[in-house]
Structure 1
Amino acid sequence: MIRTLIGRKGSRRGWANTVAATGWGESTYAELQWDKSRSAAMRWGVAGAVVGLLIGLVAFAPAAWLAGAVASATNQRLLLADARGTIWSGSAVPVLTGGPGSRDASALPGRMEWTLGVKGLGFELRASQACCLNGTVVLELRPGLGRMNVTLVPSQGGWIGQWPSAWLGGLGTPFNTLQLGGSIRLTSPGITFETVEGRTLVRGRADVELVNASSRLSTLDSLGSYRLTLNGDAASAGTSQLNLSTLEGALQLTGSGTWGAGGVRFRGEARAAKGDDAALSNLLNIIGRREGARSVISIG
């Protein structure tokens, strides 16, 4: 029995001596460390690949993504058709439609080109179109938590652009019935739109002018020229003022209203200048609710 115990003890000492002699313990520890290092390297490699992929997706994001965002924001009433390039530098054909399911559509001649770059804590969008924009139009976009701030930077002379009135026919009724001629001009000394939790706040002013308007519903070569003014004051509970006036012409338009959380509310009227009643009768019946010599315009 003593010999057996001695034999067992000797066997253990022999095993320990073997481990010490061969360095097996140190080898196992080194292998464990290597496995850990390799696992960490693999994790960093995967993370790097994912980050690289994301950067690549952002850098080469197709222009169609921007077109989709515009269509969604406008309920498919403004489309950027045949979008080419990337969201950072691309081009497309602006098209107005009557919305989902509408068969009405009207495209502008030529392509609109844009570039999008980072500026400060936001982005700067620069757009140009030979037919309609005054040089390069600049929009500053500043996203935030639950909000988006869009500022139209004033162009030279405050003139932003001019479009054919016939383009509005793509929106459907009543523009497709009126078949307007003339042009639409946008001027602004600067205006900012801020969307906060579904509400749109406006600061600044913009004027939309309908110049030398005509319609197939009238025998007159020209109905006149008109101006719709949007005045925004973010301090006034988010409500902006709308004013419609006649600059000159046989068709006399006046009205006022507001644009706020409840949408657009507008009241106005249309009349024929003296001696032009017969030539404008059909048009007055379409514009609004006829009350004697005037046509009442009511929105909202």
Structure 2
Amino acid sequence: MSHPWRASVAALLLGVAIGSIVFAPARWWAVAAQALTQGRIQLWHPQGSLWHGRADLRLRGDGGELTLPGGIAWRIGFAVEPSPAVVLDLHLPCCAAQPWHWRWGHSDEGWRLESAVHHSTWDLGWLRALGSPWNTLALEGTLRGEVGPVRWTLDQPSRVQGEWRADVLELSSAVSTVRPLGSYRLQGTLAGPAGPALTLATLSGELRLEGRGGWRGGRFWFDGLAQAAPERLDALSNLLNLLGRRDGARAHLRLG
């Protein structure tokens, strides 16, 4: 084969490769989500392209699956200011009024992934679709979450900076006649000397919850206490039995 033919073939192959990326279908994200999460997160009926599309979002638990109303939409583009970067906007119509904005670019410290602050609101009743124990507890209430800003230097995995907070408001459960049980706050960091960490505290209510947790050796752990107000002990007894090992008016919460 002469050199001109080789150059032509090389240019054709390069064009095919670039075209396959530029016009890549949205289902590529569905394949990636399935593989990376072992099927826990699934994108169904993807539409559009790799760069701009939408899909139905399903979360799978041990006993069921939850399909979020409205699905998920994404848009990937490029920015020049303040520095060249790839930008991603993720939108969950069910839970957030504004997209979650991400930016990937190069800094003096290396390649960095950053996000803006993101606010969302979730209906806890959706958790029943995930099966046990959520369908037994049949939780009701609202979760208001805030994440970020997040900064992650990719060539230094331990360099993740960011905090998050989730307020669970007016929580109630089918296994208790006390309605609501209370309002609670979960908050934590995405990284630290010992890895990601979280704390649980009570904002108000008849059922007091507190505890702390994190990741140790790649596994999640949590230690805490649930305690009923003295005048509500009888009404909350069944729920305390479900939550953990009983100790009078308290139940020990332990995971991991």
**Class of the TM-score when normalised by the shorter of the 2 chains:** 0.7 to 0.9
Work out the CA distance in 2 between the residues paired with 1:243 and 1:249. 18
Q: Choose from 183, 192, 195 the match for 2:151.
A: 192
SS in 1 for 2:38: coil
* Structure 2 CA distance for partners of 1:50 and 1:205, relative to 1, 3 Å: same
SS in 2 for 1:286: helix
Percent identical residues:
34
Unaligned runs of 5+ in 1: 1-35
Cα RMSD between the aligned structures? 2.7
Work out the CA distance in 1 between the residues paired with 2:64 and 2:191. 35
**CA deviation after TM superposition for structure 1 residue 179, in Å:** 1.7
SS in 1 for 2:21: helix
Work out the CA distance in 1 between the residues paired with 2:63 and 2:212. 32
Work out the CA distance in 2 between the residues paired with 1:267 and 1:257. 6
Q: Please, which moves more after superposition, 53-62 or 134-143?
A: 134-143
What residue in structure 1 maps to residue 185 of structure 2? 227
The question of whether the paired residues in 2 share the 8 Å contact of 1:77 and 1:171 is answered with no
Work out the CA distance in 2 between the residues paired with 1:255 and 1:243. 6
What residue in structure 2 maps to residue 183 of structure 1? 142
* Structure 2 CA distance for partners of 1:211 and 1:148, relative to 1, 3 Å: farther
Q: Choose from 229, 232, 240 the match for 2:196.
A: 240
**CA deviation after TM superposition for structure 1 residue 171, in Å:** 3.9
* Structure 2 CA distance for partners of 1:196 and 1:174, relative to 1, 3 Å: farther
The question of whether the paired residues in 2 share the 8 Å contact of 1:202 and 1:240 is answered with no
**CA deviation after TM superposition for structure 1 residue 167, in Å:** 2.7
What residue in structure 2 maps to residue 61 of structure 1? 24
**CA deviation after TM superposition for structure 1 residue 54, in Å:** 1.0
TM superposition score normalised by structure 1: 0.74
* Structure 2 CA distance for partners of 1:55 and 1:187, relative to 1, 3 Å: same
* Structure 2 CA distance for partners of 1:84 and 1:104, relative to 1, 3 Å: same
TM superposition score normalised by structure 2: 0.86
**CA deviation after TM superposition for structure 1 residue 77, in Å:** 2.0
Work out the CA distance in 2 between the residues paired with 1:285 and 1:271. 11
* Structure 2 CA distance for partners of 1:184 and 1:57, relative to 1, 3 Å: same
1:298 aligns with 2:254: yes
**CA deviation after TM superposition for structure 1 residue 173, in Å:** 3.0
Higher helix residue share: 1
SS in 1 for 2:231: coil
Work out the CA distance in 2 between the residues paired with 1:172 and 1:231. 28
* Structure 2 CA distance for partners of 1:202 and 1:208, relative to 1, 3 Å: farther
Q: Which amino acid aligns with 1:131?
A: C
Partner deviation per Cα, 1:192-237 (whole Å, 9 max, x = no partner): 356669x665312100221221211111231211111112455x2x
1:168 aligns with 2:127: yes
Unaligned runs of 5+ in 2: none
* Structure 2 CA distance for partners of 1:148 and 1:222, relative to 1, 3 Å: farther
The question of whether the paired residues in 2 share the 8 Å contact of 1:112 and 1:129 is answered with yes
Work out the CA distance in 1 between the residues paired with 2:222 and 2:153. 22
Work out the CA distance in 1 between the residues paired with 2:187 and 2:33. 24
Larger of the two Rg values belongs to structure = 1
What residue in structure 2 maps to residue 114 of structure 1? 74
* Structure 2 CA distance for partners of 1:243 and 1:70, relative to 1, 3 Å: same
* Structure 2 CA distance for partners of 1:148 and 1:256, relative to 1, 3 Å: farther
Work out the CA distance in 2 between the residues paired with 1:287 and 1:240. 24
The question of whether the paired residues in 2 share the 8 Å contact of 1:288 and 1:295 is answered with yes
Q: Please, which moves more after superposition, 65-74 or 188-197?
A: 188-197
Q: Please, which moves more after superposition, 124-133 or 242-251?
A: 124-133
Q: Choose from 155, 162, 166 the match for 1:208.
A: 166
How many equivalent pairs are there?
Answer: 251
Q: Which amino acid aligns with 2:232?
A: D
